[in-house]
Amino acid sequence: MTRFGFIERRTRRDINLMPLQTGGTLTPEARRALVEWGDGYSVCDFCPGTLDDIKSPPIDEFVHEALPKFLDMDHARLTGGAREGKFAVMHALGERGGWIVVDENAHYSTFVAAERAGLEVQVAERTPYPEYRITPEAYERAIEQGTERFGRPPVLGLLTYPDGNYGNLPDAASIGRVLHEHDVPYLVNGAYAIGRMPFSGKKLGADFVVGSGHKSMASAGPIGVLGVSDEYAPIVLRKSKRFPIKEVEALGCTARGVVAMTLIASFPHVVERTTPERWEREVQNAQWFSERLEELGMVQVGDRPHMHDLVFFITEPLYEISKRTKKGGYFLYREMKKRGIHGIKPGLTRHFKLSTYGVEREKLKMVVDAFREIIEKYS
């Protein structure tokens, strides 16, 4: 039992480049909310029977007014995470023998959610290395191939925007038009977009959008958001026959307690940071950082020019060092740790992804200098 009790998170004060964490860093207001609302089902003191209708604290105003406006969708709900939102849509639309179209860059949870919902998957293939782009033409081909393969049209098309490996931002609006031309409902997985950058579900033509509070909306987690259009709200937000105030796909209520309150506490900051001007600075920082690493012999994979903070690198200079040092692939993690830099998974040297989101240019310079020093040290 001596291992349990309070456990310090020793990396919290480091320069953090972990894509899963940079957009989820809590605001001061959210840290206060952690303490204030941390007791169990703390938000349920005045619950009328449904989480989304709680007026004190004002979860109803957030879910039914502020969040749909922010997502630019007709309806919104809180979920247990982006993957839970994807599953809710797939399960609601799914039918025996059904299938969906998914981009090849999609997160593994997309495929697992489809499997859990009993749906087959047809992949819209990406372009070759080094861009790995997802195109509207790929969705056109996937619909044709899947219809021939399964003998019926797809029940859903899903796009990852951006993907969590390369940070590519596909032409989501054009892909949506392709799907709608085939009468296929359209889901945009914005786990790395919603809360980081300007986002409009309607401009993308989406029938559904999902986002991640703990990845991109400065919230404790797990928590996600789901946006739904008027057309599909009766299906995805349908109520239970036995318990008429409970929504079936939400299993009654979803993100109960402190995670919802941290999302609400950070929301004004999240709205402010997703202006076009703020996002342009984030993109400029990512591009600057990528250029500096390529000067050290690394290769950025994905869109060029890169338009997102999540960036993937092929890092042969570091891999060559790992083959010569006794520490092997762990030498880089240890060298970075000594310099107060966190985010590269232990053991990775040949390739890795980083996120520059929210990291000031001066700190990014420190990271570049650290890579340079390490390469020179082992050369």
Nearby residues of 42 by Cβ (< 8 Å), 6 or more positions away: 257, 258, 261
Which DSSP string do the residues of 24-91 spell out, in sequence order? GPPPHHHHHHHHHT-SSSGGGGG--SSGGG-TTTTHHHIIIIIHHHHHTSSEEEEESSHHHHHHHHHH
- Is residue 11 predicted with pLDDT exceeding 70? no
**pLDDT computed for residue 40 by the predictor:** 85
pLDDT per position as a tens digit, 200-227: 999 999 999 999 999 999 999 899 999 9
For a pLDDT cut of 70, what percent of the chain falls above it?
99
Fold match between domain 23-273 and domain 275-378: no
Dist CA 219 CA 217 (whole Å)? 6
Q: Give the pLDDT mean for 17-45.
A: 93
Pairing type for strands 224-228 and 75-79 reads antiparallel
**pLDDT computed for residue 1 by the predictor:** 61
Helix (H) or strand (E) holding 144: helix 136-150
Cis amide bond preceding 130, omega within 30: yes
Nearest in space to 222 (alpha carbons), one of 191, 187, 183, 193 = 191
Three-state SS at 11: coil
Dist CA 97 CA 102 (whole Å)? 16
> What is the domain partition of the chain in residue ranges?
23-273, 275-378
Residue type for position 168 = N
* Residue 186 bridge partners (DSSP): 157
Dist CA 135 CA 125 (whole Å)? 8
Model confidence at 4, in pLDDT bands (50, 70, 90)? confident
Give me the count of residues in the chain: 379
Strands (E), the chain: 15-16, 75-79, 99-103, 120-124, 156-160, 186-189, 208-212, 224-228, 299-301, 310-314, 341-342, 351-355
Dist CA 13 CA 35 (whole Å)? 20
Average pLDDT along the chain: 95
Please check whether residue 309 is in contact with residue 343, taking contact to mean a CB–CB distance below 8 angstroms.
no
**pLDDT computed for residue 277 by the predictor:** 98
What residues form the annotated binding site?
82-83, 189, 212-214
pLDDT per position as a tens digit, 151-172: 999 999 999 999 999 999 999 9
Dist CA 197 CA 275 (whole Å)? 7
**pLDDT computed for residue 315 by the predictor:** 98
What residues form the annotated binding site for pyridoxal 5'-phosphate?
82-83, 189, 212-214
Q: Which two tokens stand for residue 198?
A: 């300007």
**pLDDT computed for residue 329 by the predictor:** 87
Burial level of 334, CB count in 10 A (0-12/13-18/19+)?
Answer: exposed
**pLDDT computed for residue 14 by the predictor:** 83
> Which of these ranges, 12-21, 140-149, 190-199, has the smallest mean pLDDT?
12-21
Fold of 275-378: Aspartate Aminotransferase, domain 1 (3.90.1150)
Q: Give the pLDDT mean for 293-297.
A: 98
pLDDT per position as a tens digit, 305-317: 999 999 999 999 9
**Cα-based distances in Å from 332 to 49, 318, 319, 372:** 52, 8, 9, 12
User: Given the structure tokens 């591009």, which residue do they identify?
Assistant: 287
pLDDT per position as a tens digit, 80-107: 999 999 999 999 999 888 999 999 999 9
**pLDDT computed for residue 326 by the predictor:** 86
Pairing type for strands 208-212 and 120-124 reads unpaired
Q: Give the pLDDT mean for 170-197.
A: 98
User: Given the structure tokens 């940071």, which residue do they identify?
Assistant: 273
- Is residue 182 predicted with pLDDT exceeding 80? yes
As assigned by CATH, the class of the 23-273 domain is alpha beta
Cα dihedral 34, 353, 280, 293 sign: positive
- Is residue 12 predicted with pLDDT exceeding 80? no
